[in-house]
């Protein structure tokens, strides 16, 4: 991969900041595509000032070769490949290889990768005790946060982050074990026995059988549904420096155990503004219920005082149609067709909501388009997953992105422990007084 120029200093470009009559020059850097960045690393040393950017809306925290998004164009590339092409022609395991290694595998490399991943699908038998320690009604994301964190107490032979081989073994383990762990969280919540992985099945078909098979009868995987879920996994595999990925990088920047870093990412993903949005979008569609009530909800979403937002609409980065939402909409139709539930009432509500919102001045002006979560809830429910499993499925898919970004961070010579600054607005220095002397 010829990317030696990526992140190079833009020699002829510099930004000048004029502050209190003194000019400071800041170098600029150019990527392969996308906006240049102003390198403010020496800003404090030169001016005594920090930058202020809550939510990192204008701040690049790292350079990365993994994923590129152009939110205005509605473009998403994994290692340079458009998401639509990967969703159409690739499979999730191949995408895992791509994200982790940087290039698509040839046949031999793919077969070897597939074998390696399938050899790591089982979890330590002791892990089952962690599941049974949870209440049956625990949210599966709570179980995932705990059990994935618990992996850091196992597998001591792959936690030396300074050893390249151990880093790769930890990466393979995470990708391989996550479906097993997710299916165990699901099975536990519905009171069914855990189903062991089957290495003769491909990655996603195996996950479906671990979720839906029972020991007392044979389970046949529906290839159309397996392909649809595989595509959903591809769509969710990485999304550059989003909240959960930044969490994984920040946790990992201290040299923390890799499994613990992924657990931190899972905790962040759980939030309704991030991975929890597909659950929230489906709840909203259910609440709307019928097509005739759509206009009323659109009106509420536009009213600032209502505190209501259209879930599954809007995105921090995409100010155009989320390219993943287009693929997701197609996948949704395929799944409903395959299951013979084309007349699903919630799909009608979703289509009407999308139609009305896309014509509405408020949504046009604010560039609010359906995001990936808008159609994924309907699709995952049709596949047989309860709502509280949706974010878990997202975590299964995103694990490869987290681990690829974590590995890239560890291997980046520029990386330092993450330590944001702040604008302090609390009390200035004051003297301590003993309790009897306080008013
Ligand atoms: N419905 C109605 N109005 C909205 C919506 C929405 N879904 N999203 C944003 N707006 C409005 C805001 O009220 C704001 O209006 P203002 O400029 O008049 O104050 C404007 O659009 C900008 O919104 P922000 O919240 O500032 O945009 P931000 O980039 O911070 O938020 C977010 C993005 C969190 C995704 C937001 O659009 C939202 O809450 N959407 C619903 C939740 C959702 O679907 N999340 C999934 C994200 S995708 C993912 O994580 C995989």
Say how many Å lie between the CA of residue 296 and the centre of ligand 1.
Answer: 19
User: Is any atom of ligand 1 closer than 6 Å to the C-beta of 274?
Assistant: yes
pLDDT for 56 beyond 50: yes
Per-residue pLDDT, averaged over 383-391, amounts to 93
User: Is any atom of ligand 1 closer than 6 Å to the C-beta of 373?
Assistant: yes
pLDDT for 7 beyond 80: no
Please state, for a pLDDT cut of 90, what percent of the chain lies above it. Answer: 80
Per-residue pLDDT, averaged over 392-401, amounts to 97
Catalytic residue IDs: 315, 373
Instruction: Identify the sign of the CA torsion 102, 104, 110, 115.
Output: positive
| Closest among 174, 196, 171, 183 to 143, alpha carbons compared | 183
pLDDT for 326 beyond 80: yes
Per-residue pLDDT, averaged over 63-85, amounts to 96
Structure confidence at residue 9 (pLDDT)? 64
Say how many Å lie between the CA of residue 282 and the centre of ligand 1.
Answer: 17
Task: Give whole-number Cα distances, 359 to 163, 289, 304, 317, 356, in Å.
Answer: 54, 21, 19, 21, 5
Q: Which is the closest atom of ligand 1 to the Cα of 316? A: 29
The mean-pLDDT minimum among 52-66, 101-115, 152-166 falls in 152-166
Distance CA 173, CA 123 (A): 9
Please state, for a pLDDT cut of 70, what percent of the chain lies above it. Answer: 97
Containing H/E element for 78? strand 75-78
| Closest among 44, 59, 258, 302 to 161, alpha carbons compared | 258
Give the length of the chain.
Answer: 439
Say how many Å lie between the CA of residue 316 and the centre of ligand 1.
Answer: 7
Distance CA 361, CA 299 (A): 12
Per-residue pLDDT, averaged over 167-193, amounts to 96
Query: Band of the pLDDT at 10, cuts 50, 70, 90?
Result: low
User: Is any atom of ligand 1 closer than 6 Å to the C-beta of 313?
Assistant: yes
Distance CA 244, CA 266 (A): 7
DSSP conformation letters of 374-433:
HHHHHHHHHHT--GGGHHHHHHHHHHHHHHHHHHHHHH-TT-----------S-------
> In 277-310, which positions are buried (b, 16+ CB within 10 angstroms) versus exposed (e)?
bbbbbbebbeebeeeeebeebbeebbeeeeeeeb
């Amino acid at each position: 991969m010829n990317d030696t120029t990526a992140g190079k200093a833009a020699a002829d470009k510099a930004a000048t900041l004029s502050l209190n009559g003194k000019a400071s020059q800041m170098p600029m850097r150019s990527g392969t595509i996308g906006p240049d960045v102003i390198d403010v690393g020496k800003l404090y040393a030169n001016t005594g000032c920090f930058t202020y950017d809550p939510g990192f809306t204008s701040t690049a925290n790292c350079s990365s070769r993994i994923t590129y998004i152009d939110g205005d164009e509605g473009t998403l590339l994994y290692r340079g490949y458009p998401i639509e092409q990967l969703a159409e022609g690739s499979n999730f395991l191949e995408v895992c290889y791509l994200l982790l290694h940087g290039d698509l595998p040839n046949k031999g490399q793919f077969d070897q990768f597939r074998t390696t991943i399938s050899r790591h699908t089982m979890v330590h038998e002791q892990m089952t005790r962690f599941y049974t320690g949870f209440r049956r009604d625990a949210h599966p994301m709570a179980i995932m946060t705990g059990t994935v964190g618990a992996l850091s107490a196992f597998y001591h032979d792959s936690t030396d982050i300074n050893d390249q081989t151990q880093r790769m073994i930890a990466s393979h383990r995470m990708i391989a074990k996550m479906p097993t762990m997710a299916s165990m969280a699901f099975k536990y919540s519905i009171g069914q026995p855990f189903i062991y992985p089957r290495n003769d099945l491909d990655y996603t078909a195996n996950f479906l059988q671990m979720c839906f098979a029972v020991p007392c009868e044979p389970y046949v995987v529906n290839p159309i549904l397996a392909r649809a879920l595989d595509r959903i996994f591809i769509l969710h595999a990485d999304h550059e420096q989003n909240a959960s990925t930044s969490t994984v990088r920040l946790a990992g920047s201290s040299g923390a155990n890799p499994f613990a870093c992924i657990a931190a990412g899972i905790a962040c993903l759980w939030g309704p503004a991030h991975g929890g949005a597909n659950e929230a979008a489906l709840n909203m569609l259910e609440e709307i219920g019928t097509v005739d009530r759509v206009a009323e909800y659109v009106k509420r979403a536009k009213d600032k005082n209502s505190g209501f937002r259209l879930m599954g609409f809007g995105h921090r980065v995409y100010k155009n149609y989320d390219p993943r939402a287009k693929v997701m909409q197609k996948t949704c139709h395929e799944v409903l067709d395959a299951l013979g539930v084309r007349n699903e009432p919630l799909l009608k509500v979703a289509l009407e909501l999308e139609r009305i919102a896309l014509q509405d001045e408020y949504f046009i002006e604010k560039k609010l388009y359906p995001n990936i979560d808008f159609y994924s809830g309907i699709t995952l429910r049709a596949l047989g997953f309860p709502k509280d499993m949706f974010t878990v499925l997202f975590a299964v898919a995103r694990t490869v992105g987290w681990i690829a970004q974590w590995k890239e961070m560890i291997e980046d010579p520029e990386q330092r422990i993450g330590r944001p600054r702040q604008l302090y607005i609390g009390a200035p220095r004051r003297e301590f007084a003993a309790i009897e002397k306080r008013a």
